[in-house]
Amino acid sequence: MLAAVAMLAGCSSDPLAEQYADGTDTNYISGDGVYKEYAPDERGEPVSFEGVSDEGAAISSEDYAGSVYVVNFWYAGCPPCRLEAPDLQQLSVDNAEAGVNFLGVNTYDQEATSQAFARKFEVTYPSILDANDVAVQFAFAESVAPNAVPTTLVLDREGRVAARWSGLLSEPSILQSMIDRVLAEES
């Protein structure tokens, strides 16, 4: 994984990404890259949440009812978040035809910073601003706590966490396989 991070950082002119590649994790708690999938009978209750996007739109779990979707907890100053943003964006495009939606949850920033990140990394899916009341993070805490940034979750058609990736999404193909397995489940 370190080689992948170094390779990604080498292609980047992003000082925060380079800092991460050098092994510095100042001012944030990064995940360890561990991922886990949960069998349908191991999943908790559906997660219910609501918030407001960095564009001012109301977003809730009801908007995703009946569909498989991916939730990524992030913030702009998080080096691994910056490294994985292009991969998450590409996965969102690749999975759009299958009806899989992506949702960001910005855990730290306000509107302008979140929007600037989306422009810089060409992220087209929405992000909820969760820094002020941490309501979305709290909603997920009972199921699978997003206690590291970034954390990426795949939710099933019932709104339950089916997979969790803590830390940098170093292998997008693995997340794609997780999504594919959840899509293949009977609704």
Residue 56 has pLDDT above 70, yes or no: yes
The answer, yes or no, to whether residue 113 has pLDDT greater than 50, is yes
pLDDT-wise least confident of 9-18, 82-91, 127-136, 142-151: 9-18
* Whole-number percent of the chain with pLDDT over 70: 82
% pLDDT > 90, the chain: 77
Show the tokens assigned to 75: 């913030």
What confidence tier does 157 reach under pLDDT thresholds 50, 70, 90? Answer: very high
- Residue 84 binned pLDDT confidence (cut-offs 50, 70, 90): very high
Least confident of 5-14, 81-90, 92-101: 5-14
pTM of the model: 0.85
Of 3.30.390.30, 3.40.50.150, 3.40.50.300, 3.40.30.10, the CATH number of 29-184 is 3.40.30.10
